[in-house]
Structure 1
Amino acid sequence: MKFTVVINTYQRARSLRKTLLSLRRQTYRDFEVVIVNGPSTDETEKVVAEFEPDVRLVRCPAVNLSLSRNLGIAAAAGDVVAFIDDDAEADPLWLEQLGAGYDSPRIGGVGGMVYDSTGYCFQYEYAVCDRKGNADLNVRPPLWDYLHPHGEKFVHMLGTNCSFRRDLLAEIGGFNEEFEYYLDETEVCMRLIDRGYWIKPLPHAFVYHRFLASHLRNHHKVLREPYQVVKNRLIFSLQARRPNDHLRDVVIDNLKFIDYLVTDARQHFEASRLTKAEFTKFLARTEAGYEAGMRLGLTQQRRSADLPPPPEAFRPFSTVQPRGRRMTIAFVSQEMPPGCGGIGRYSWDLATACARAGHEVHYVTCSPDHNRVDLESDVWVHRIVPLTDGDWNRPGLEPLVAKNLGWAAAAHQEVKRVAATRPVDVVSAPIWDVEGIFCQYDRSLNTVLTLVTTLQATVDLNPSWRAVPGMDRMLQLEAEVVRNAQNVTAPSQAILDKVRRDSGGPMDTANVRVCPLGIPDQAARFTPRPPDGKIRVLFVGRVEKRKAPDLLLAAAVELLPEFPEVEVVFVGNDTILAEGSDKTYRQQFEVAHGHEPFASRVKFQGLVSEDELQQAYADCDVFVLPARFESFGLVLVEAMAHGKPVIAANIGGMAEIVVPDENGFLVYPGHVPALVQALRRLIVNAPLRARMGAASRGLYLEYFTDEQMMDGMMTAYQASAGIESPADVLTPPFPNRKSA
């Protein structure tokens, strides 16, 4: 069965692009796309050009949805014509599930469920409409009683998620072109059922309808132009009358409907969602719509279209297909860029890389207000509010534990909601805050635990944390999660070894893989600062004990008086109190050295935007991470991508990234003289900085791109799910990996 997807668009270039991108992700491949553009004056046709020659463009001279739909049908070469709005995105299974619905020659149309603008709640599940135009959205299957020809009520579908056999659309004359908007698809459903065909709403085949502002409704989603609604409802109800239906009943029902519209508009006016001028116009247009609807409904024949036979040329729309089997992957991370730490950054980069490779990716992250689902960078982002109650929240549970388990429970609940509509092959969750604990203990889910710097490692470096109520319980939960993990990935051998020492797991029976992290290459977007005679040393990260900013500050105190051209820049949250102190590391430095002449060359920039961070990397001459422990050291890779020499402590994952004397130096952990010596060597030797910077860039391209991270992690995911990896996927080792 061939599908033609028709998108009727007007003045929505930006959202149209998202609609088309969602179609690139369809699992069903035998379909074409026809875009019917009204008299748009925005960049709609530029957007269409981005997708040529995969799409067919038809122009509609008027802002008339039914005319636009009929032009799309006339250009359709498919057996079935499916409609989706230009402010909606299609679920990857949309066409596949619609196609499966055509399982009988009696089926005239098939539709699916529609999410509202949140992407989480339904705008439409099932509905029936009566012959006066009143819809009932509370019905549930079975719906056989509403499929009888000429019945008082009949099944209808929403226009943003409906499909019909093309031959039947031609048989009934397509859509009624008097209906510029409103009840257009409802009238088609009624006419097909009256001819003995069935309309089949499905419990899936989802479409996400963003319900954007238009020429008819404002940004509050408030109807401001009622003319078409009033007119077309009257025409529909007058022409849908059966012989025994009384005209008086139809008119009274429409007057009640008009009263509802006016009351609703008045409430919006009183709430300042409509201006006084808009409300005054609303009343006048309502009256005009009533007069036109009565006249046309009683005197005018249906404005049908004479649809031609389907064209011979069928133009398949290209879809993104992965190497090997398409997987459905759910990432769990309460953090997401911008403005997050390393876990959120690499999780999002990995998610987007997997999506680019053709897999279906869901990213479950924390929401501060309400649940919503959005399609961003080809990833379905689920922003979910943490739960506050459940079997896990028992009396006496410490707030820290309740907070973390509340998020973990909400993430598990959302993953299960996705899994109810399709098989989820892998759930990927970090060990931090035991985010994946409920997913991991749900054996219906295949959960892969990703090791990062653990809470145990952090507490070891910050003993005061142990006094936080609930910390001991969190440490117990963390160790339990590790010991019971069936599938584990680690960004370095060092963190795997440390976790095994600290937790006694993962068990030997677990599927364990070491996969280096990677980042997208953004270096070309940022131009380094022009030569200014200065040498800039950069630190990126939280200014807290584990990252060891105190060591770099101590080195700066020794080096800056000697080298007046050197400046040291700290980028990251500098409001964290130093361990065992009532001051931050920044405050400690300013108290001790703020009076020194060199103090102005130590700059604390705090939290910055993503572009500002990348520019900081581009502008620096040397990058330093003297951390006391890192499970990996993503900021080193970020600096290497910009071609910078790097200095790091010879501990943890950092020792597996930096190749000593090739792209930088590894120094003894916690040893300021060693750090000073390494910095001095790079400060005084510009050719060495250039050589090591070039080596950093080469190592990044060879080992640490997001594509290589994706290949390595996909191999682990496929192994966890029992799926054979494509033969051409190879995971390069670390440049400086130590044996286990």
Structure 2
Amino acid sequence: MNEEKLSFSIVICTYNRDEFLERTLVSLNNLTYSNFEVIVVNGPSTDRTDNILKEYSNRIKIEKNDFANLSISRNIGIKAANGDIVAFLDDDAIPEPNWLNQIKELYDKYDPIGGAGGRVYGPGGDHFQFHNGYIDVWGEAVTKLEEPGIYVQSNSDKYNIMMGVNSTFDRNALMHVGGFDEYYEYFHDESDLCARLTRSGYPIYHHQEAFVHHEFARSHIRKSNYKLNWYPIVKNTVYFGVKNSIEIKSLGKRLIKPFLTARKRAIEFDQWRRHGNITIEDYRLFMKMWWKGVFRGYIDGFLRKRKTNYQLQNEQVFMKFNKVFAELDRSIITIENSKEAFDDKKFGICLISRHYPPFGSGGVATYTRALAEGLVEKGFPVFVLTTSVPAKEQKINGVCVIRVDSNNVNEELNFLVDQYPITNHNIRSSLQISNKIEELYNQGLIKIVETPLWDYEGLATTQIEGLKTIVRLETPLRKAAEMQGWNWNHDMELSAHLEKKLIETCDGVISISNNVKTIISQLYNIDWSNINTKIVPLGLLKSDYINTKVSQKKKEEIINILFVGRLEPRKGIDLLLKAFHNIAQKYLHVKLNIVGNNSIIFDKNMTMQQIFEKEASSELLNRVTFFGEVSNEELEEKYQECDIFVAPSRYESFGLVYLEAMKYKKPVIGCNVGGIPEVITDGMTGLLVEPCNISELELALVKLILNENLRKELGQNAYDNLLNVFTVESMVNNTLKAYNSFFR
């Protein structure tokens, strides 16, 4: 088959998610495959969606659906499609550049084939939501298998499935089975189609890559992980089992099994209620929706015909998508030998950050994005080199974000692989980054590079003659290892030496706090008098920011304490849980909510959550909730809902997380260690306790639990100080002053 003979119709169904849709449409310019058209089916949207689509009116097909029903929208998209393959992409998703090329491999390989899909990254790009899934005839699905699914036989009672955000189908096969069953407004819609295709002789195949990144944004159906519209979910679960078990299972099983499958949802609701994830009012509402869904699913499953659509042919023509790389390049890249890049006032700047929002998170990623966008607003050309974004090169809010792959194949470094795996990875990454930076520098696009100290990513860049390399100091490896209890070895020793080498060979240093500068001097025996160093605190908000999302707390007795951070020793989560154990026995109206990566091994090959759940009483378990990693929207909600924020870290080089809480006028508690006292003024903008002192931590929490006026006073003071000191403008302006001083 000719390389691009196979044509694709990318269908995006949207409803009131304008910002996400706009980003998804822009990302399609980065697809390396060219033989595709784009169809957007707009539901009854009331936001900016129509205006966004008008800008694309000469490049895409635009269809309308007056009903909030995803299956109807998808069938409208199929009817408008003229490609050989119909590829569905959600409006909050971004495909990897080679997505269609890899999907095409499966269509070239298999015949017959009904559909093909790849893996789906969740928010942050550091975990999978879906890979290699299957569903049984009753609607019970497995969504994460290591190997591609094996259920391709038409007489099976299990079927390979795809996640809708990354699902493609042969158009002729779709017309043969009547497209999507429009009974499904949401949930099990694509799984039902996969089952019907497989039973009709058109199996589904999985690709081990063909990645799509999914933001998993909220919608009219999905408000949070818990507060979904459970009625259609339960209804469609029962309907799926009744319909897809026809001629496969006995009538007795068809009457009983769908109920048992749906009952697992009811058991989940009860568990959430007992663990405090939902209120008793939520539970009652969920169960009301559950019973309604069960009855409707049975009635419709047995008595109603499917709402498949066999009128999907069309007389339209294929409308090839016109990619606009040149237009994007002009807006974010100064041309070669541009005077602007070497202008003393508006020079080109390159920032290095392993992760970059919204495809990755963390302290460095957060401040890098704020700094990059702040510099762009001042007219500086800014490039960010990262490993976390899906596209090789894209524009995000005016910043040119470039992905650099870290798999350097320099054979001269192979001697490092076995004994020095950390150093091996970091050096190869540094070399790859340096190659791209040298390319940008030789083209006249940049004049200065800023690199974080962590992982010494900018080390190789210091050898580029004429280019200024600046290091921003954060927690050094030696301090992190001490706080985390890591076993120090020769590999870490070499990496620590290379951190020191980066500081000694760079052209200037920016420290985010006085403390981290002092700590590094002590641990690495560095004399700062010989190094040009500036102190620039991090900034979080714009100076004109007005927080309209500060919570107006309801009149209720419950006091919510919030922790946000990785569940690792350095963050002090073990100290907090011990302090809360004592508090919970005395104050029955207090709850603790914990947000952050809970998959990290803490001790004895167990995570902190596993340790806690093993040792805690049932009463304490009901007062502590582990949410794991959450979306930005849900995190914002947790900050708004809390009464007290606490992060008893054993060490922080700065403490950006406290500023996040202050943004919502929340009183904060931190430890008198590292750079935290430079963020929290004890008794004025928060409370400080000595590190690892559980008694002091308990007293500080009780002080705020019992004094609502103090909570309000500290929260307001912190918010005012945030707007006066820790603004993006201040960080950007002071960074530029530092940059200019390094040129002298």
What is aligned with 2:423? 401
Q: Which amino acid aligns with 2:464?
A: D
Residue in structure 2 matching 1:556, options 580, 591, 615: 580
What is aligned with 1:589? 612
Where in structure 1 are there 5+ consecutive unaligned residues? Answer: 1-10, 22-39, 51-56, 64-116, 120-218, 223-270, 272-276, 287-316, 723-740
Q: Judge conservation of contact 2:408–2:431 (CA < 8 Å) in 1.
A: no
Give, in whole Å, the separation in 1 of the partners of 2:317 and 2:377.
48
Give, in whole Å, the separation in 2 of the partners of 1:632 and 1:678.
21
Q: Which amino acid aligns with 1:365?
A: T
Q: 1:477 to 1:539 in 2, by over 3 A?
A: same
Q: 1:344 to 1:406 in 2, by over 3 A?
A: same
What is aligned with 2:659? 637
3-state secondary structure, aligned to 2:481: helix
Instruction: Please give the TM-score of this superposition, normalised by the length of structure 2.
Output: 0.54
Residue in structure 1 matching 2:505, options 465, 474, 484: 484
What is aligned with 2:73? none
3-state secondary structure, aligned to 2:506: coil
What is aligned with 2:347? 327
Alpha-carbon shift at residue 572 of structure 1 (Å): 0.6
3-state secondary structure, aligned to 1:447: strand
Alpha-carbon shift at residue 646 of structure 1 (Å): 0.9
Q: Judge conservation of contact 2:534–2:738 (CA < 8 Å) in 1.
A: yes
Give, in whole Å, the separation in 2 of the partners of 1:383 and 1:573.
24
What is aligned with 1:361? 382
Residue in structure 1 matching 2:518, options 497, 519, 542: 497
Give, in whole Å, the separation in 2 of the partners of 1:402 and 1:507.
29
What is aligned with 1:543? 567
Q: Judge conservation of contact 1:483–1:506 (CA < 8 Å) in 2.
A: no
The answer to whether residue 402 in structure 2 is matched with residue 382 in structure 1 is yes
What is aligned with 1:232? none
Residue in structure 2 matching 1:600, options 614, 618, 622: 622
Give, in whole Å, the separation in 2 of the partners of 1:285 and 1:403.
50
Q: 1:392 to 1:644 in 2, by over 3 A?
A: farther
Alpha-carbon shift at residue 616 of structure 1 (Å): 1.3
3-state secondary structure, aligned to 1:616: helix
Q: Judge conservation of contact 1:361–1:380 (CA < 8 Å) in 2.
A: yes
What is aligned with 1:653? 675
Q: Which amino acid aligns with 2:440?
A: V
CA deviations 1:133-169 (Å, max 9, x no partner) are xxxxxxxxxxxxxxxxxxxxxxxxxxxxxxxxxxxxx
3-state secondary structure, aligned to 1:444: coil
3-state secondary structure, aligned to 2:530: coil
Q: Judge conservation of contact 2:416–2:424 (CA < 8 Å) in 1.
A: no
Q: 1:367 to 1:555 in 2, by over 3 A?
A: closer
Find the structure with the greater CA-based Rg.
1
Q: Judge conservation of contact 1:489–1:512 (CA < 8 Å) in 2.
A: yes
What is aligned with 2:532? 511
Q: Where do 1:431-446 residues align within 5 Å?
A: 431-446=453-468
3-state secondary structure, aligned to 2:529: coil
Alpha-carbon shift at residue 547 of structure 1 (Å): 0.8
What is aligned with 1:691? 713
Alpha-carbon shift at residue 718 of structure 1 (Å): 2.3
Alpha-carbon shift at residue 41 of structure 1 (Å): 12
The answer to whether residue 592 in structure 2 is matched with residue 572 in structure 1 is no
Alpha-carbon shift at residue 345 of structure 1 (Å): 1.3
Q: 1:694 to 1:494 in 2, by over 3 A?
A: same
Give, in whole Å, the separation in 2 of the partners of 1:439 and 1:573.
32
Q: 1:506 to 1:713 in 2, by over 3 A?
A: farther
3-state secondary structure, aligned to 1:627: coil
Q: 1:17 to 1:668 in 2, by over 3 A?
A: closer
Q: Judge conservation of contact 1:488–1:511 (CA < 8 Å) in 2.
A: yes
Q: 1:411 to 1:528 in 2, by over 3 A?
A: farther
What is aligned with 2:234? none
Give, in whole Å, the separation in 1 of the partners of 2:317 and 2:572.
69
Q: Judge conservation of contact 2:347–2:381 (CA < 8 Å) in 1.
A: yes
Give, in whole Å, the separation in 2 of the partners of 1:509 and 1:48.
59
Q: Which amino acid aligns with 1:532?
A: E
Residue in structure 2 matching 1:430, options 448, 452, 456: 452
Give, in whole Å, the separation in 1 of the partners of 2:724 and 2:741.
24
Q: Judge conservation of contact 2:484–2:568 (CA < 8 Å) in 1.
A: no
Q: Judge conservation of contact 1:633–1:654 (CA < 8 Å) in 2.
A: yes
CA deviations 1:363-385 (Å, max 9, x no partner) are 110058x7610011111010121
Give, in whole Å, the separation in 2 of the partners of 1:657 and 1:712.
17
Residue in structure 2 matching 1:666, options 646, 667, 688: 688
Q: 1:689 to 1:448 in 2, by over 3 A?
A: same
3-state secondary structure, aligned to 1:470: helix
Give, in whole Å, the separation in 1 of the partners of 2:598 and 2:530.
42
3-state secondary structure, aligned to 1:719: helix
Give, in whole Å, the separation in 2 of the partners of 1:674 and 1:350.
36
Alpha-carbon shift at residue 526 of structure 1 (Å): 6.2
Q: Judge conservation of contact 1:118–1:373 (CA < 8 Å) in 2.
A: no
3-state secondary structure, aligned to 2:561: strand
How many residues align? The count is 458
CA deviations 1:297-356 (Å, max 9, x no partner) are xxxxxxxxxxxxxxxxxxxx9x99999822311110111123421111111121112112
Q: Judge conservation of contact 1:465–1:471 (CA < 8 Å) in 2.
A: no
Give, in whole Å, the separation in 1 of the partners of 2:514 and 2:405.
35
What is aligned with 2:724? 702
Q: Where do 1:52-63 residues align within 5 Å?
A: none
Q: 1:526 to 1:425 in 2, by over 3 A?
A: farther
3-state secondary structure, aligned to 2:451: strand
Alpha-carbon shift at residue 394 of structure 1 (Å): 4.0
Q: Where do 1:124-135 residues align within 5 Å?
A: none
What is aligned with 2:9? none
Give, in whole Å, the separation in 2 of the partners of 1:386 and 1:655.
36
Alpha-carbon shift at residue 603 of structure 1 (Å): 1.3
Give, in whole Å, the separation in 2 of the partners of 1:641 and 1:377.
22
Q: Where do 1:446-457 residues align within 5 Å?
A: 446-457=468-479
Where in structure 2 are there 5+ consecutive unaligned residues? Answer: 1-11, 13-17, 27-39, 62-95, 99-166, 171-204, 206-309, 319-330, 335-339
3-state secondary structure, aligned to 1:561: helix
Q: 1:542 to 1:471 in 2, by over 3 A?
A: same
3-state secondary structure, aligned to 1:519: coil
Q: Where do 1:106-505 residues align within 5 Å?
A: 325-338=345-358, 339-367=360-388, 372-390=392-410, 393-397=413-417, 398-467=420-489, 470-505=491-526
CA deviations 1:597-621 (Å, max 9, x no partner) are 2321111111111121122111111
Q: 1:638 to 1:367 in 2, by over 3 A?
A: closer
CA deviations 1:82-107 (Å, max 9, x no partner) are xxxxxxxxxxxxxxxxxxxxxxxxxx
Alpha-carbon shift at residue 49 of structure 1 (Å): 8.8
Percentage of identical aligned residues: 27
Alpha-carbon shift at residue 582 of structure 1 (Å): 2.1
Q: Judge conservation of contact 2:441–2:447 (CA < 8 Å) in 1.
A: no
Q: Which amino acid aligns with 2:600?
A: I
Q: Judge conservation of contact 2:372–2:382 (CA < 8 Å) in 1.
A: yes
Q: Judge conservation of contact 2:478–2:496 (CA < 8 Å) in 1.
A: yes
Alpha-carbon shift at residue 564 of structure 1 (Å): 0.9
Q: 1:285 to 1:709 in 2, by over 3 A?
A: closer
RMSD: 4.7
Q: Judge conservation of contact 1:367–1:385 (CA < 8 Å) in 2.
A: no
Q: Which amino acid aligns with 1:481?
A: L
Give, in whole Å, the separation in 2 of the partners of 1:16 and 1:553.
41
Q: Judge conservation of contact 2:348–2:448 (CA < 8 Å) in 1.
A: yes
Alpha-carbon shift at residue 453 of structure 1 (Å): 0.8
